[in-house]
Amino acid sequence: MLKTLNNFVLNPLSWWLLAISALGLEFSALYFQYGLGLEPCIMCIYQRVAILAIMAGGIIGAVGNNLLTSRLIGFVLWAVGAIWGLLIAIEHVDIQSNAGSLFYTCDLIPNFPSWMPLHEWFPAIFEATGDCGEISWSFLGYSMPQWMIVVYGMYTALFAIFFSSRIVNLMKNKG
């Protein structure tokens, strides 16, 4: 089983599937924003950035699949995007659960680095106009941040499975 997983990691198709799944989520976010009129909040914007990190990891992993360095960069971006996104989605659910509390609020302007103000460069994608505490969409009784916990949880679990299979294979070949 680990050999099969390891071989899949070495195949560019696996990385393209990762990138395409993240791209699909980005398009879905834009559809929710522009097609359904749901305004994204700060937490939604941060989750978009986390998905972009996963997508970038997939592209780098696919294009440079034969290079260990490229795969490593791909894994790092995948892990950072998945884990950071999961933490933000959990925080977003906490904010929505305690919307009336003064202790749970979110910023109005994204806290991007001064050298990369995405909300100024691409306001159509990264400008936050919604309220973090508002639940304006749900499916099967779960809000969008709750579904994003599932999505990021899956990305995190898949990262752990594929990365550990790669590590086990490298350890086997050295020993």
Q: Which residues are catalytic?
A: 41, 44, 48, 106, 132
Distance of CA 169 to the CA centre of its chain: 27
Those residues whose C-beta lies under 8 Å from the C-beta of residue 150, and which sit 6 or more positions away, are none
Nearest to 48 by CA among 138, 142, 157, 128: 128
Do the beta carbons of residue 55 and residue 26 sit within 8 Å? yes
> Computed from CA positions of residues 28, 32, 33, 35, in that sequence, does the dihedral angle turn out positive or negative?
positive
Do the beta carbons of residue 129 and residue 66 sit within 8 Å? no
Strands 142-143, 138-139: pairing is: antiparallel
Do the beta carbons of residue 30 and residue 125 sit within 8 Å? yes
Structure tokens at 21: 């799944």
H-helix or E-strand spanning residue 122: none
Nearest to 155 by CA among 87, 86, 92, 90: 86
